[in-house]
Amino acid sequence: MSHLTTPGAVIYAKDLSKVSCFYEQLLQSIATHAEDEYTVLELPHFQLVIHAIPDRIANTFQISSPPKRRGEAATKLMLPVASISKAREVAANLGGQIDAVDREWEFQHCRICDGHDPEGNVIQVRELISR
């Protein structure tokens, strides 16, 4: 299967710098490439691209503070973290949120919790449970 590209996702952001910083710190990753219009984060076996929303579109809406979670989206990113507790702190410091401990659940050897980034995009973080 080496002939296939790395799987990944694209997140569109009104504030490219803020959203890129959020995911870089949440995932303990570094940007491998950055331009005025996008940032690329490389994880093992996954590439996350944060792409700036063009000004002509970005100027037509506002992001509230705190951001309103956009839970109606058809897709939710599942992101690996070493610690949900640490991810909760990082997210809060960067304008996002990981839900409270009482909203966590376990599934397929993972502890899982939903949240959102600084622009309200819904995410799910997953911490491997040691057995």
Residue 61 lies in a domain: no
Residue 72 domain flag? yes
Looking at the domain assignment, is residue 71 inside a domain? yes
Q: How far apart are the first and last CA of the chain?
A: 30
Q: Distance between CA 26 and CA 124 in Å, rounded?
A: 12
Question: Among 63, 80, 74, 81, which residue's Cα sits nearest to residue 117?
Answer: 63
Q: CATH number of the domain that 88 lies in?
A: 3.10.180.10
89 in a structural domain: yes
Residue 44 belongs to domain spanning: 8-55+66-128
Per the domain annotation, does 3 fall within a domain? no
- Looking at the chain, the whole-number percentage of residues with pLDDT higher than 90 is 87
Segment 48-91, tens digit of pLDDT: 999 999 999 999 999 999 999 988 887 899 999 999 999 999 99
Distance CA 102, CA 86 (A): 16
Please compute the mean of the pLDDT values over residues 94-112 and round it to a whole number. 97
Retrieve residue 54's tokens.
Answer: 């063009």
Rounded distance between C-alpha atoms, residue 44 and residue 59, angstroms? 35
Q: Considering its fold, how many domains does the chain have in total? A: 1
